[in-house]
Amino acid sequence: MAAGRAAAEGTAGAAGRTAGRRAVVRFAALGDSLTAGVGDPVGDGLRGWAALLAGGLVADDADNADDDADAEGSGEAAGGAVRFRNFAVAGARARDVAAFQLPRALAYRPDVVSVVVGMNDTLRRTFDITEVALALDRTCAALSARGAVLLTACLPDPGAVLGLPGPLARPLARRQRQVDAVVHTLSARYGAVHLHLADAAWVADRTLWSADRLHPGERGHRTIAARFHALLAERGLAHGAAPGREPRQPPPSRADALRWLATAGTGWVLRRCHDLLPDLIRLAGAEVRHRARGTGTLLDLRAEQSLAAALAAVSGPAPVAGPAPASGPPAVFAGPAGVGSPAASARPVPVPVPTAVPLATMGE
């Protein structure tokens, strides 16, 4: 209790120090190609949902939110009272975020930070849910201890996204469910603002996806940004205008999809043939054999057991959030208990079961 009061007093003191001058909110984005902005090109660079969201965090940026994000979505957006830095890297796994992106983010001293990663882990033959859980826990714990508001998201099944046949898709679906269960648990543990992106409607809506069908297109990125903004606004943590949902670029055509397959897609397929396909064929063979014997539930049981072991590995007491970063989150980011507050870190951690949330109510 004393530590919690001290952290709260530190946050209040930091907010008080911003009185009489313009407060600056620092937003950092960590993750893989989804957060790096793949699928949402602007000019010669990438923008993405995180850059779109950045402009709506503070009311001063409401009038030029999209313009700032368009201009500097992959760097540091300096419009108004928001500073945004995108540390995400295409292809990153949970361990890469913890090892390389986390130190840079801590040095940046963010007030708000997104950690959205995990699908690349499921697409590797070395997939280990305990390793993923420990890396995510390390990342979330370090950022939460600095007083940052965490943003997290569970992700859709990559087999469904890629339209793979059942025997190939089911092993990937189990892996993604494991990752999402870990993300749900850590989100509750650290009081994160959590967005559901694992719904079948999200996968089925082709207007949300880019030509590669691996990443959201502009409409998809805008939808993610708008849903995160709504969650933050509900908690009094976003005061600017919500990002617009209508894309400014035309949707990808069949020719765009063929062009991607002939260029970047070929390299992606070759890489997956090396680091995933042999293992996936083995897993698909096990799927077929178990289904023929009527023992398919054994595969689900093994996945549940490995998930339980992963959750046990991160079940220690959550650290109490320390004083706010030197930049000091403004008062609007102090947050109620359960949203990045010290009180949230001290709560027992439930083990939630991820559920499908319709896109119309995604994250609500």
113 pLDDT more than 80: yes
| Percent over 70 (pLDDT), the chain | 66
Find where tokens 């939808």 sit. 223
Q: How high is the pLDDT of residue 96? A: 97
pLDDT band with cut points at 50, 70 and 90 for residue 347:
very low
pLDDT category at 315 given cuts 50, 70, 90 is confident
The number of residues in the chain equals 364
Query: What span, in angstroms and rounded, lies between the C-alpha atoms of 220 and 293?
Result: 41
Q: What is the pLDDT of residues 206-242, one digit of tens each?
A: 778 766 677 888 888 999 999 999 999 999 999 899 9
d(CA 329, CA 236): 13
Instruction: Convert the pLDDT of each residue in 233-291 to its tens digit.
Output: 999 999 899 998 877 776 665 655 545 444 454 455 545 556 677 777 777 787 778 77
By percentage, how much of the chain surpasses pLDDT 90?
Answer: 39
Burial of 5 (0-12, 13-18, 19+ CB in 10 A): exposed
pLDDT at 88 > cutoff 70: yes
* Residue 358: other Cβ atoms inside 10 A: 12
Name 196's bridge partners.
Answer: 154
Encode pLDDT of 170-203 as tens digits.
888 999 999 999 999 999 999 999 999 888 777 7
User: Which of 247, 246, 245, 252 has the alpha carbon at shortest distance from 210?
Assistant: 252
Question: Could you give the CA distance from residue 101 to residue 89 in angstroms, rounded to a whole number?
Answer: 9
Mean pLDDT of 301-329: 68
> Around 208, how many Cα atoms within 13 Å sit in the side-chain half-sphere?
18
